[in-house]
């Protein structure tokens, strides 16, 4: 390996890390700031759990996420080196296929990632694998937006591997990969946010019932044997792993007033005085 190639790899790793870190910080901090600080009073009726995770948990999640981002950046070097060696022609080929393929490949990538996540996630819950691959994530029993990348090393590597594997198999423009990453971090941080924002139908079910909700994933953190899906509910329903109380819990979360009135305790306190 010559000096210039080593320098190029180091530069690419730093670029990967900067991009992943920026994306994580923007979305995790924005979701936390919007739901937990700015609109916390207005949306307190949509908070799934009464208790909030302690500040120590948020700090640990953030620090562990930095480690995950380092793993993501390292795995991301695979595509860089493959393209440089001329072994990754897919993005260049797909760039000439026009806007229809651009948006179609984005939809396909999201659907494929949901399947990849479901089965990898479910496998990591096997007793022989859980402690090595997935225990760190479930230490956040009451999740926060910062939980999104709070992974063990093995889980971070498995999750990061989807993109290079996909690019090797399916010709996909680089722009689609960037949009895919924005979609996954947005859904990831919202799914761990602790607030249910999905509108409900008249019968109390989610307006878009094929999409996972915050309640859906929150139940997974509360009772780990259910709800393995990331974006869609169909794998859980097909495989019988959707929590049996999911729709009831969702309905309970969204039927409360957005900002329930705080009872006036003054008369009670006066009588006690």
User: Per the structure block, which two tokens stand in for 198?
Assistant: 């999905």
- For the four alpha carbons of 160, 165, 170 and 174, in that order, the dihedral sign comes to positive
- Check whether 267 has a pLDDT greater than 80: no
Please compute the mean of the pLDDT values over residues 28-37 and round it to a whole number. Answer: 96
**Residues 135, 46 contacting (CB under 8 angstroms):** no
List the structure tokens of 201.
């139908």
Segment 188-214 mean pLDDT: 94
The number of C-alpha atoms within 13 Å of 219 and in the hemisphere containing its C-beta is: 23
The pTM score is 0.90
Q: In this predicted structure, what is the pLDDT of residue 271?
A: 57
DSSP class of residue 33 equals I
pLDDT of res. 265: 47
pLDDT for 246 equals 96
- Give percent of the chain above pLDDT 90: 84
Q: Which two tokens stand for residue 243?
A: 């929590």
Q: Report pLDDT for 259.
A: 63
Lookup: tokens for 62: 């953030």
Structure tokens at 13: 């790793």
Could you read off the pLDDT of 147-167 as tens digits, one per residue? 999 999 999 999 999 999 999
Cβ partners under 8 Å of residue 247, min gap 6: 204, 205
State the average pLDDT over residues 20-36. 96
Distance of CA 157 to the CA centre of its chain: 15
CA 193 to chain centre: 10
Q: Please give the structure tokens belonging to residue 270.
A: 């006066």
At residue 268 the predicted structure's pLDDT band, cuts being 50, 70 and 90, is very low
Distances (CA, A) of 236 to 2, 109, 121, 187, 225: 49, 19, 12, 17, 11
Give 197-204's long-range contacts (Cβ < 8 A, gap of 24+).
Answer: 197/46, 198/250, 198/254, 199/254, 200/250, 200/251, 200/254, 200/255, 204/247, 204/250, 204/251, 204/254, 204/255
CA dist., res. 33 & res. 28, Å (int): 8
pLDDT of residue 5: 75
Angle CA(29)–CA(32)–CA(34) in degrees, nearest 5? 105
Assign 190 to helix, strand or coil: helix
pLDDT computed for residue 244 by the predictor: 96
Model confidence pLDDT, tens digit, residues 44-99: 889 999 899 999 999 999 999 999 999 999 999 999 999 888 999 999 999 999 99
CA distance 160 to 162: 6
Which two three-digit tokens encode residue 63?
Answer: 């620090």
């Amino acid at each position: 390996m010559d000096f210039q190639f080593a320098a190029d790899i180091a530069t690419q790793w730093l670029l990967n890390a900067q991009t992943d870190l920026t994306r994580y910080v923007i979305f995790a901090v924005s979701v936390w700031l919007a739901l937990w600080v700015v609109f916390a009073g207005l949306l307190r009726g949509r908070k799934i759990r009464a208790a909030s995770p302690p500040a120590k948990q948020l700090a640990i999640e953030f620090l562990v996420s930095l480690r995950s981002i380092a793993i993501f950046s390292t795995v991301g070097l695979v595509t860089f080196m493959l393209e440089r060696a001329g072994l990754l022609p897919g993005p260049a080929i797909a760039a000439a296929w026009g806007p229809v393929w651009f948006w179609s490949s984005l939809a396909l990538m999201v659907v494929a990632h949901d399947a990849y996540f479901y089965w990898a996630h479910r496998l990591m819950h096997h007793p022989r694998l859980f402690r090595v691959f997935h225990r760190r994530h479930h230490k956040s029993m009451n999740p926060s937006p910062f939980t999104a990348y709070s992974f063990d090393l093995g889980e971070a590597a498995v999750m990061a591997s989807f993109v290079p594997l996909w690019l090797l198999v399916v010709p996909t423009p680089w722009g689609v990969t960037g949009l895919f990453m924005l979609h996954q971090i947005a859904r990831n941080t919202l799914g761990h946010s602790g607030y249910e924002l999905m509108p409900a139908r008249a019968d109390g079910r989610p307006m878009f019932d094929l999409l996972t909700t915050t309640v859906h994933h929150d139940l997974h953190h509360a009772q780990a044997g259910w709800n393995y899906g990331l974006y869609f509910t169909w794998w859980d329903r097909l495989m019988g792993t959707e929590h049996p109380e999911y729709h009831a819990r969702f309905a309970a979360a969204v039927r409360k007033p957005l900002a329930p009135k705080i009872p006036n305790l003054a008369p009670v306190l006066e009588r006690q005085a």
